[in-house]
Amino acid sequence: MRYHNITKDDMLNGDGLRVVLWVSGCDHCCKECHNPITWDPNGGLVFDEEAKEELFEELKKDYVSGITFSGGDPLYAGNREDVLKLAKEVHERFPEKTIWMYTGFVWESIDGLEVMDYVDVLVDGEFVKEEADPQLHWKGSANQRVIDVKATKKSGEVVLHCA
């Protein structure tokens, strides 16, 4: 897996203060995406042990609420296996921290993926410029949903996350 950045003390990509991993690779290529530099799966840097330790050092901090996977797309085919391994390790080492994920895929097409067993909140759907609204909380366009994954899996119906 490759990545472009690790953002620390982020308050825009999920509840609380978070660390964000911006992975490389996306084939949605949404019109007017705010991060097209991350589309190339060969762009950025190799996600190595040093990068993982940088993430874990942030997650050790009491005031950090958790990790957010963004990009690019964490569920881009070339990222899925590595993102699953990392999400599982984060969940095991930091069970009190939440895991958020942004993806261009919709819940209905990915709910069977094993990685969803470790994700607490999923922001799904492609960014649609015509539905963009800067007033939306944690998402860029009105078609996207902020989904409470645990509640959704339990109920069998999409349950939206409330702030």
Across 107-124, average pLDDT: 97
Across 35-49, average pLDDT: 97
Structural domains of the chain, ranges and CATH numbers in brackets: 2-155 (3.20.20.70)
Q: How far is CA 156 from each of CA 118, 126, 145, 148, rounded to the nearest angstrom?
A: 17, 22, 16, 12
Sign of the C-alpha dihedral computed for residues 106, 109, 114 and 120 taken in this order: positive
Average confidence score pLDDT of the chain: 97
Given pLDDT bands bounded at 50, 70 and 90, which one contains residue 85? Answer: very high
Q: Any idea which residue has 């042990």 for tokens?
A: 49
Across 97-108, average pLDDT: 98
Residue 102: strand, helix, or coil: strand
Instruction: Please report the pLDDT score of residue 34 as a whole number.
Output: 86
Contact status, residue 21 vs residue 3, Cβ threshold 8 Å: yes
**Distance, CA of 21 to CA of 129 (rounded, Å):** 24
User: Pairing relation of β-strands 145-148 and 121-124?
Assistant: antiparallel
Q: What is the pTM of this model?
A: 0.96
Instruction: Please report the pLDDT score of residue 113 as a whole number.
Output: 97
